[in-house]
């Protein structure tokens, strides 16, 4: 736990790095979107300022990363596709290097931050939805939890993945943003300048406007169905949430979600068995988790 690990989060909206020791995040540096545009610049950024105190480098990035460190398909960074992050960085740093999916990193970080529970599920609820199950120090599978179907009707929402009715196409922040824009336009409602559509939805929901209540009703129904499916499969005692949408929506609709869950569970009591908490450090959990997975590797 006392080793210093250089962690690098490669993102489409800018990358960041930090030195992590246990739960401590030191020497944090963030870049702006577009500041790092190629592999050589990324490796230089990753290795910058490393000393003999660093035992290695751990990358996190959104996308499908092979165990040998090759980025098979990056979510938002086309120039990263096919790049071997491990070999390229090893050649410069001469230390051990790992590269993992950012959701894997986040959930490993959540585990460390919430006291190492033996069994829980981490769910990101922001523009999209991601989930991982953590069991006895390991991630069960790098899955695509946002693309579980919760609406099989022919008119179900089209998802970014090409399927219809995925939970992300109904509950994801990006889908909600588009829905709010469409609803307000049809109704002739003007969203004030500088207010995001999702924030506007929250305000109007609290003011009990029917259109906002209806949208949140739909979100609660889909999320309840989703969590009931997950609870039927996994029986987890704890969900650790992160993401802007979770932060704002859960206080408003958690009890509605619970009602929908109970109606869809073989034993309705399983709803109450699933405790909710928020990630204590949503900004840093992926970096802390990357370091934790490096130590395990």
- Site stretch for Zn ion (CB under 5 A), options 74-82, 153-161, 236-244, 258-266: 153-161
16, 17, 112, 147: which one binds Zn ion (CB under 5 A): 147
Is 191 near Zn ion (CB under 5 A)?
no
CB of 36 to Zn ion, least distance (A): 29
29, 91, 161, 195: which one binds Zn ion (CB under 5 A): 161
3 state SS for 140-189: CCCCCHHHCECCCCCCCCECCCCCECEHHHHHCHHHHHHHHHHHHHHHCC
Is 8 near Zn ion (CB under 5 A)?
no
Quote the CA–CA distance of 181 and 176 in Å, as a whole number: 9
Is 247 near Zn ion (CB under 5 A)?
no
46, 65, 103, 166: which one binds Zn ion (CB under 5 A): 166
Is 171 near Zn ion (CB under 5 A)?
no
Query: How many chain residues touch Zn ion (CB under 5 A)?
Result: 5
Is 158 near Zn ion (CB under 5 A)?
no
- Site stretch for Zn ion (CB under 5 A), options 37-45, 51-59, 166-174, 232-240: 166-174
Which residues in this chain contact Zn ion in the complex, by CB under 5 A?
147, 159, 161, 163, 166
């Amino acid at each position: 736990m006392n080793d210093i690990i250089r962690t690098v989060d490669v993102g489409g909206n800018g990358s960041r790095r930090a030195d992590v020791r246990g739960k401590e995040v030191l020497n944090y540096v963030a870049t702006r979107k577009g500041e790092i545009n190629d592999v050589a610049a990324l490796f230089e950024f990753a290795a910058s300022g490393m000393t003999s105190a660093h035992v290695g480098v751990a990358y996190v990035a959104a996308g499908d990363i092979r165990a040998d460190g090759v980025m098979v398909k990056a979510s938002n960074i086309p120039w990263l596709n096919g790049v071997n992050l491990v070999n390229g960085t090893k050649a410069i740093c001469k230390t051990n290097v790992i590269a993992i999916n950012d959701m894997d990193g986040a959930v490993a970080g959540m585990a460390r931050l919430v006291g190492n529970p033996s069994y829980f599920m981490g769910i990101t609820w922001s523009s999209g939805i991601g989930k991982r199950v953590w069991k006895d120090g390991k991630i069960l599978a790098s899955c695509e939890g946002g693309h579980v179907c919760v609406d099989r009707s022919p008119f179900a929402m089209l998802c970014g993945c090409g399927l219809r009715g995925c939970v992300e196409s109904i509950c994801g922040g990006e889908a909600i943003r588009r829905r709010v824009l469409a609803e307000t336009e049809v109704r002739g409602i003007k969203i004030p300048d500088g207010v995001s559509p999702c924030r506007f939805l929250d305000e109007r929901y609290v003011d009990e406007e029917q259109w906002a209540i209806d949208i949140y009703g739909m979100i609660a129904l889909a999320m309840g169905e989703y969590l009931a499916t997950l609870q039927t499969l996994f029986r987890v005692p704890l969900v650790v949430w992160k993401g802007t949408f979770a932060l704002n929506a859960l206080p408003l609709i958690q009890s509605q979600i619970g009602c929908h869950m109970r109606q869809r569970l073989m034993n309705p009591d399983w709803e109450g068995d699933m405790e909710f908490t928020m990630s204590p450090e949503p900004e840093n959990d992926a970096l802390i988790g990357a370091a934790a997975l490096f130590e395990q590797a």
